[in-house]
Structure 1
Amino acid sequence: MSGRTRVYLVDDHAMVRAGVRAELGDHVEVVGEAADTDAAVAGIRASAPDVVLLDVHLPGGGGRVVLETVRAELPDTRWLALSVSDAAEDVIAVIRAGARGYVTKSISGPELLDAVRRVADGDAVFSPRLAGFVLDAFSAAAAPAPPVPADPETDPGLDLLSAREREVMQLLARGYTYREIGQRLFISIKTVESHASNVLRKLQLSNRNELTRWAATNRLL
């Protein structure tokens, strides 16, 4: 990419934005900044930057909302998450939404500048330990679900479940919460709820207690 990279800053802390500006210096052109999702969406649409430096946790719904709202309108804009959080669920959520990278705020100024330039050029950039989260998540998503052993005594209702519904069913039967299941399978809580509803409906069960008994009877725990 020729010329200075045009960067838009999104972070709800003014001191963080000022610090990022100082670290990036004159090596990039900061074309705007915002502290919440609504302002970010409007500002990014107006400026069409090369790179958006995006905090994950923001007032108004978070960085993922900004990304999902604007990304399709600006296909040439790249997104780099810059967050204090190194939680796997935050990393996976923003990458699934379309970010090209994720770095933590412990990054040095020269490293951040390098990350911005690399993302602008189309590379994917991650802080070292975060790359493992992404690889694990997408490897798990691509891997086929482990087969359920054939058993003549197994309830035939099991055949009605998709591979993902079987995963959700087993975790539900083992007592995991919807949030914990979502984190383990890298899906949203709403998606877990939808799968759980489908599982109960297909197996003709009324609640989780019945599901646990059913799973135990069919030796699926």
Structure 2
Amino acid sequence: MTSQQAGQTGPAGEDTGGPERRVRVVLVDDHRMFRTGVQAEIGRTEATGVEVVGEAADVDQAVTVITATRPEVVLLDVHLPGGGGVEVLRRCAPLMGTAERPVRFLALSVSDAAEDVIGVIRGGARGYVTKTITGTDLVDSIFRVQEGDAVFSPRLAGFVLDAFASTDAPPIDEDLDRLTQREREVLRLIARGYAYKEIAKQLFISVKTVESHVSAVLRKLQLSNRHELTRWATARRLI
């Protein structure tokens, strides 16, 4: 524990138990139970210094809550109804650029796919950690992002270094860009051979919703069936 993280001391030198640092956070994730768990883990303000000032489950809610509360840090899931974390970043870009009290974003996602990591970093997020992170490390990551540091889960840092090492920008895949973040996740799981029921269970959505996403993917990519879809995804190394 650093001196910054140590508890405050009273007149007699006793530890008062409260952290010196404070940070206001908004949680953006479409799974209510996950938000509740994160709130319970990090939102004990007197112990962690983290105050959760708002929550959101989709893009529109996120933009509204972030704009109203102006937190120091937003914990942002990559896959959200309404366009995903990248859309939240796009719509909140003016808040990130303010000189006084900028809003900074830390992606917190189950996905460790390179395109997800690179997408939100290009969108302006200051870091990306996976949901396997411990509560203690998450609190530390939040404070580091508040202070302007870039924070990544160890294996994800390589994706970002590789993506930005070249002076040449990677080619834009217009077909892939037509898909929402959720559609990309369904596409990846379909290409890996998952059944609709398995996809629904993993993504916490209904089978009917999975079917709707698959239909949308096939229509946007002008493909006929899941076999063509699998070949398409394999050619782009999405699986």
Q: Give the aligned partner of residue 88 of structure 1.
A: 114
Q: Which amino acid aligns with 1:134?
A: V
Q: Given the alignment of the two structures, is residue 70 of structure 1 paired with residue 92 of structure 2, yes or no?
A: yes
Match of residue 139, structure 2, among 97, 100, 113: 113
Matching of residues 1-221 of structure 1 within 5 Å: 3-24=21-42, 25-26=44-45, 27=48, 28-75=50-97, 76-140=102-166, 142=167, 185=170, 187-189=172-174
CA deviations over 1:168-189 (Å, ceiling 9, x no partner)? xxxxxxxxxxxxxxxxx36352
Structure 2 alignment gaps of length 5 or more: 5-19, 179-239
Instruction: Give the C-alpha shift of residue 4 in structure 1.
Output: 1.3
CA separation of 1:135 and 1:74: change in aligned 2, threshold 3 A: closer
8 Å contact 1:71–1:77 — kept in the other structure?
no
8 A contact 1:9–1:33 mirrored in 2: yes
The Cα of 1:120 is off from its aligned counterpart by 0.4
- The number of residue pairs the alignment matches comes to 152
Three-state SS of the structure 1 residue aligned to 2:27 is strand
Conserved? CA contact 1:92–1:186, under 8 Å: no
Equivalent residue of 1:57, what SS?
A: coil
Amino acid at match of 1:126: F
- Matches of 1:126 and 1:187 in 2, distance apart? 24
AA aligned to 1:57 is H
- 1:190 Cα shift? 6.0
Q: Which amino acid aligns with 1:78?
A: R
- How far is 1:23 from its partner? 1.3
Which consecutive residues of structure 1, in runs of 5 or more, have no partner in the other structure?
144-163, 165-184, 194-221
Once the two structures are TM-superposed, the CA of residue 10 in structure 1 deviates from its matched residue by 0.1
The residue type equivalent to 2:40 in the other structure is: A
The 2-side partners of 1:100 and 1:113 are apart by: 15
User: Percent of aligned positions with the same letter in both sequences?
Assistant: 61
SS at match of 2:107: strand
Distance 2:136 2:76 in 1: 18
- The structure with the larger Rg is 1
Shift of 1:74: 4.2
CA gap 1:21/1:64 in 2 versus in 1, 3 angstroms: same
Q: Distance in 2 between matches of 1:136 and 1:127?
A: 15
- C-alpha distance in structure 2 between counterparts of 1:192 and 1:54, whole Å: 20
Three-state SS of the structure 2 residue aligned to 1:81 is: strand
Q: For the residues of structure 1 that align with 2:24 and 2:40, how far apart are their CA atoms?
A: 15
- 1: distance between equivalents of 2:149 and 2:96? 17
Per-residue deviation, 1:22: 1.2
Against the structure 1 CA distance between its residues 105 and 59, is the aligned structure 2 distance closer, same or farther, given a 3 Å change threshold?
same
